[in-house]
Structure 1
Amino acid sequence: MATGELLSVCGCKGIRTCLRCEDGKSEQHLLQKNDPIRYDFVYDPVIKSAVREENGVRQSFQFPGVFLWESFVSADEERELVAAMDENVWRQSQSGRRKQDFGPKVNFKKQKVRAGDFTGLPAVSCCLVDRMRQKPLLASFKPVEQCNLDYDPIRGSAIDPHLDDSWLWGEHLVTINLLSNTVLTMSLDQGWEDMDTGEVRVAVHLPRRSLVVLFGEARHRWKHAICRNDVHGRRVCSTFRELSAEFLPGGEQEKLGSELLDIALKFKGTPL
């Protein structure tokens, strides 16, 4: 797709913006959108801590709730996955992203969910889910939704700091990062433990073809984002979400949850 075509349409709403809809915005607005992000710490997946060096002194604190699986897919698999995605329609989304949704019809404001036109996760994801479940952390992981997102610096793609819904979506958020390296920005508005420095930001480096899981504190307390300055080339990702306890055995909406999972795990889906 040509650059002009990429910038010809926009899916932004409200406070969300991309490079196209920022035309005519104030200079101050553009500076705020494009300023490099200051990271207080960098996540170390080996020691599972957030670490920084200051005046030759190493500072760190435990950062629970992040699991990084490097080289989750091979280069050949990456090509096949992206080719399969590109055979389907990419729909414009907010903040310069494009998306493909495979999941039930949801109204988060009214807390209502139904199958709608949902026909399951895509066929190419079946082997990926099987591979995820080889790890003890994801042994019981049953995704009911997959969202593919396409980021490109030409469009100024990003996603603002946010917490994913916890009424419908469960404990584990699983994302496969394809085509380029990026940084997942974890942030906490009020500081962490004995730190009184206000907002704290931790950079979680996501290598190309890696998988990352957010759970526990990182899922429910720390916001996550992809900043514009950390998108250096086309980046495609697939995020998988499981159901919350309300929709699992013993929950109030167990029957509906079972129906949705039955559809999802047939792996016969097309994007909605």
Structure 2
Amino acid sequence: MMNECRSTRFISSSSSSPNLYVANCGPSVGISMDQIQLAFSKFGEVKSVCAADQSGARVVVSFSKEISAKAALEAFDGKPCPYLSDRILHIRYSSILQTSSSSSSSQSQVNGFLSVVSLEASELQIPGIYLLKDFVTSKEEEELLSAVDCRLWKNLAKRRVQHYGYEFMYETRNVNTKHHLGELPSFLSPILKKISSFFPNIIVDQLTVNEYPPGVGLSPHIDTHSAFEGFIFSLSLTGPCIMEFRRYSQGSWIPPDKKGENLQVIKKALFLPPRSMLLLSGEARYAWHHYIPHHKGDAVRGDIIKRASRRVSFTFRKVRNGPCCCEFPQYCDSQSN
């Protein structure tokens, strides 16, 4: 009954199907395949339950009949599932993608859910993305964490944050340029010097520090074009994670959310080790959504790497003082309605 679907791949479908793609569900979020089968079998015979990708948090449930899949989708999509600890599932129809046996397993899928995690930014083949490993030493990491832990945290729904230079306003996805919080603090000087040594002409004046507990990630987004300039630096401390990158066919700086819309999406994933600095620039910064999956473990080249008890990121940016005039107007809030 259960299998890993190694020879079968699935794509999203706007029309009904006996197959359902189910997100926020799987072993890495504490739900076994047997539990999933039992919950969905209440609507009819379940032929198989298999991993949709390597994350362990997304599965494909295949019914014998379309009517069973329809009933399950209507009952569970976007609602607490009473049979799976009231977890809220996100479901859409899926159909089988026919692939040749010579297809490379390292290729990113369009509209697919198999995503091979890259260890080097160059493997992604996304212009403008760079990963600098061991950007800080273990001692520098301890000093940075000690410095922020001595300061006041602001609690959000699932994580804590600190803002320096300018405060990021989550309601508008922007900053208030008229409210300057002051210069970046002195404990950041070693990091700023290292950034300048790699990029002498780059000046940053805004920092957001995020603390992620286990299982908490980041929703897909493009940093607002009108808010920040073209270079974004993100330093990962204390724990590893996977960051996904997505590019949608229709182009939007906010991810599309229309149910049943058959949008093409290219997905790629990169492993971020502790003490590494990620740089997003050009196309990677302006046209690709980035996202940290919400689960407690990441599948990387056949191994499950558990998230640490906390992960802290330092995201450095330069506040923009005018409209954006980038080469990606379809993703730009300054150039589109």
What is the TM-score of this pair, normalised by structure 2?
Answer: 0.53
Distance change (3 Å), C-alpha of 1:111 and 1:205: closer
Distance change (3 Å), C-alpha of 1:44 and 1:144: same
Q: Distance in 1 between matches of 2:265 and 2:247?
A: 5
| Structure 2 counterpart of 1:113 | 176
1:71 CA drift (Å): 0.3
Distance change (3 Å), C-alpha of 1:38 and 1:30: farther
- Map 1:1-272; keep pairs closer than 5 Å: 26-27=80-81, 30=87, 32=89, 38-43=113-118, 45=120, 48-50=122-124, 62-94=125-157, 96-104=158-166, 109=172, 113-116=176-179, 118-135=181-198, 138-153=199-214, 156-190=215-249, 198-229=264-295, 230=298, 232-233=307-308, 234-244=310-320, 246=322
Q: Distance in 2 between matches of 1:168 and 1:174?
A: 15
Contact 1:182 1:205 (C-alpha < 8 Å) held by counterparts? yes
1:190 CA drift (Å): 2.6
Structure 1 stretches lacking a partner, 5+ long: 1-18, 20-24, 51-61, 249-272
Distance change (3 Å), C-alpha of 1:111 and 1:88: closer
The amino acid of 1:98's aligned partner reads: R
1:168 CA drift (Å): 2.3
The amino acid of 1:218's aligned partner reads: A
Q: Distance in 2 between matches of 1:212 and 1:66?
A: 7
Query: How many matched pairs?
Result: 202
1:106 CA drift (Å): 6.3
Distance change (3 Å), C-alpha of 1:147 and 1:117: same
1:42 CA drift (Å): 3.2
Q: Distance in 1 between matches of 2:114 and 2:197?
A: 33
SS in 2 for 1:161: strand
The amino acid of 2:314's aligned partner reads: S
User: Which one scores higher on RCO, CA 8 angstroms, separation ≥ 6?
Assistant: 1
Q: Distance in 1 between matches of 2:165 and 2:156?
A: 16
Structure with the larger helix share: 1
% identical equivalent positions = 24
CA deviations on 1:87-112 (whole Å, 9 max, x unpaired) are 11211124x11100113256685977
